[in-house]
Structure 1
Amino acid sequence: MTEVARVEVITSVERRRRWSRLGKARLVAASFDQCVTALNIARDAGIHVSQLFR
């Protein structure tokens, strides 16, 4: 099998994302799941894994 690379295209001038409290809470709640890695959570959210630890 071949793995498909994921590419994100930024089309707007604004690069800073605005996260709602609910969105942040979902990421934190997902990080407590023993079956999911931080890398997978970050990939699903479209962020770098180091941003989960800030």
Structure 2
Amino acid sequence: MYKAALKTITPIIIKKLNEKMMINNEASIATIINANREIGSPKMTARFRMFL
């Protein structure tokens, strides 16, 4: 019984994790774009380096 429940829950958890990762990727891509736009700003460059 427990294993059956686990099998149905796991794909949902994986799907949620993938969604979260996609959102995080989009956020870091946006940060990279902003960093490129403000490349002269030392604050932005420092924050950009932290991502790498």
Choose between structure 1 and 2: higher helix proportion. Answer: 2
Note whether the superposition's TM-score is higher than 0.5.
no
TM-score (norm 1): 0.35
Pair member with larger Rg: 2
Task: Indicate the structure whose relative CO is greater, using CA pairs within 8 Å and at least 6 residues apart.
Answer: 2
